[in-house]
Amino acid sequence: MKILAAMSGGVDSSVAAAELVRAGHDVSGVYMKNWINEENIIGHCPWEEDITDAEAVAQQLGIPFRVVNLMTEYREKVVKYLLEGYQAGITPNPDVMCNREMKFGVLWDWAQEQGFEAIATGHYARKAFSVPGSQFPVFNSEPGTEDSEHAIYRGADPNKDQTYFLAMMQPQQVRIAQFPIGHLLKPELRERARELGLKTAEKKDSQGICFIGQVKMEDFLRTFVPDQPGPIVNLEGKVLGEHRGLHLYTLGQRKGHGVASPIHKQAYVVVAKRPQTNELVVAIENADTPLLWARKATLHSISSTGLPLNEKRLLQAQPRYRCPAGDATFRPLGDGRAELEYKEPQRALTPGQICALYDGERLLGGAVFETIQHA
């Protein structure tokens, strides 16, 4: 296949490209230039260094490499979504939208024009297709047949699995997606990079916003959204301090709000944001803290990676990255909405956050939390 490998300058995408070359595909590397930090946001935005590293790896692998400028599209499809979400008092996820709108959206449109058949990324996820008449998925980098059903499964490394960030992908995007490193554990991947002598073999993983680098979300937001100070109150309405703006906090947050707890080893946690009064509500965290735990929620913008999610069913729902997926009942309401009822109470379900939906290891799709029904 003629495959375009999205190379961020990190070790994961470097090894992903190497795996494709080893498999005999016609591979080209590309760096998505999304951000150059013209606003001088606090934090390291090493796009020039990343491009240099990605190009060096491409040269080592003997594949063509180019940089594609997508800054305008990134601002429109990801940055705008991010800022509007936080300003509306919800918690968006730019990494999820970057995958759907940019890597497998805008970049794929460009790739098709160049004659590519698929796009590969360095996500820890496994791609599979089902053969008609067989109940077992085939984990393979080949495209399958025209009538094959394509699916995404959790990566083999449970500590690095990144399928959560792929939850809003469309079926046609899943079909052209390749995840060459999903079968590897992180230590195995590092070892392969060393064996190949790749420049990025020892490079640290990025923890910043999608394709922006080591930029903290708070610093990013404060550059574009002015502070709007207001009171921090407890559940009884007593003022405990002052916040800098509701958009800088998220439900379930234990640190960074500046309110010290009078109880040893029990912290104050953010349980609500009240835009009408500009109040940030905190409470001492325990197993029955009001407004912190919930079993029921409504979802909107339901997106399926395969067959439509239009019937009541049991599934596993993951409310955020680095959080276990809990057993839940999914009840469609129509118009892209559904009711989700967890078997066990969940901590800090948050409007605006992405909820990834699974059937065991298989990613079914995702949705956005709309309202939370507290006990």
| Residue 288 annotated in ligand binding | no
> Which residues belong to the active site?
98, 210
| Residue 102 annotated in ligand binding | no
The span from the CA of 68 to the CA of 361, in Å, is: 34
**Residue 193 structure tokens:** 């990079």
The span from the CA of 128 to the CA of 96, in Å, is: 20
The span from the CA of 41 to the CA of 56, in Å, is: 27
| Residue 7 annotated in ligand binding | yes
The span from the CA of 15 to the CA of 139, in Å, is: 18
| Residue 269 annotated in ligand binding | no
Other CB atoms within 10 A of residue 339 CB? 18
| Residue 32 annotated in ligand binding | yes
| Residue 306 annotated in ligand binding | no
Amino acid at 299: L
**Residue 123 structure tokens:** 């996500």
In the block, residue with structure tokens 């968006």: 92
What backbone phi and psi angles, to 5 degrees, belong to 127?
Answer: -100, 135
Give me the numbers of helices (H) and strands (E) for the chain, helices first please. Answer: 9, 18
| Residue 10 annotated in ligand binding | yes
Write out 225-269 in H/E/C secondary structure: CCCCCEEEECCCCCEEEEECCHHHCCCCCCCCCCCCCCCCCCCEE
The span from the CA of 278 to the CA of 227, in Å, is: 12
Give the residue numbers of the binding site for ATP: 6-13, 32, 122
Report the binding-site residues.
6-13, 32, 122
